[in-house]
Amino acid sequence: MPEGPEIHRAADRIAEAIEGEVMCEVGFGLTRMKPWESQLTGARVTEVEARGKAILTRFDVGVAVYSHNQLYGKWYFRKAGAYPKTGRSLRMELRGEKRSALLYSASEIEVLRPEEEPDHPYLGKLGPDAVDPDVTQQQVIAQLEDPRFCGRNLGGLLLDQSFVSGLGNYLRSEILWWAGLHPSWRPKDLDGEDREDLARWILDVTRQSYETGGVTDCLERVADAKERGVPFRHYRHAAFARAGRPCPECGTPVEKIDVGSRRLYLCPPCQPPR
């Protein structure tokens, strides 16, 4: 599933392609969405906003199209009227005069009025967005100290969108590795300095991923790896998907474990359990 950084980058590309444009055609591949085609064709896209792992494409007729990629959704961008060669199903087409934004394979698409957004099952429960530059370290610390979250294991908490939105599986492994924390730790087990560090890593790792297109390892190590011709998949992350490969800090082989029925990667010496 795309995580917050990927969704924010997709929103940037949608905005670049069609924001401010009058839609020559809006089409949906879902039967229940068909009545909206005539109402949105001819409307202008006023804003494209990423919220956690969802995107709101706002129109000047007073509604927004909510979309969530889920596991398989993928955005493509083409010249108006052109389509990619893919076996995926086209779920939404937003065609401007020159360019189109095309969403394939996603089924979580709906139209929302502004007053419906706060009570939406996904949007209404989102915590601070880690990619949002206006979200501060202090806001994340407040979440870590909140009674709803402070007693939960970090391995599960870092996937909860009501805690901090936009985090997902690869970010979870990377944040914990950088913070030197095992997934069994709970916020209430940490002292104030450790909570500050964890809050900083939550924001720094996520924002670096957004800025670099998914790279979460140290950028100096990344630059060195590029010069040596190391494949992208081997230098992209510090811990995630590196089972059996040496930890960048101590050289111990990274281990893969399951936490919450999802894979997590860690270095045992660098991330001792609680």
Residues forming the active site:
2-3, 53, 262
3-state secondary structure at position 221: helix
What's the CA gap between 119 and 238, in Å, rounded?
A: 38
Bridge partners of residue 54, in order along the sequence: 51, 68
Residue 9 to residue 5: CA distance in whole angstroms: 6
28, containing H or E segment? strand 25-28
- 165 bridge partner residues: 129
CA–CA dist 183, 271 (Å, integer): 8
Could you tell me how far CA 117 lies from the centroid of its own chain?
Answer: 19
Beta partners for residue 76, in sequence order: 102
Q: In which region does residue 82 sit, left (phi positive, over 0), alpha (psi from -120 to 50) or beta (all else)? A: beta
Taking CA 177 as the corner, what is the angle to CA 175 and CA 183, rounded to the nearest 5 degrees? Answer: 80
Q: What is the 3-state secondary structure (H, E, C) of 48-80?
A: EEEECCEEEEEECCCCEEEEECCCCCEEEEEEC
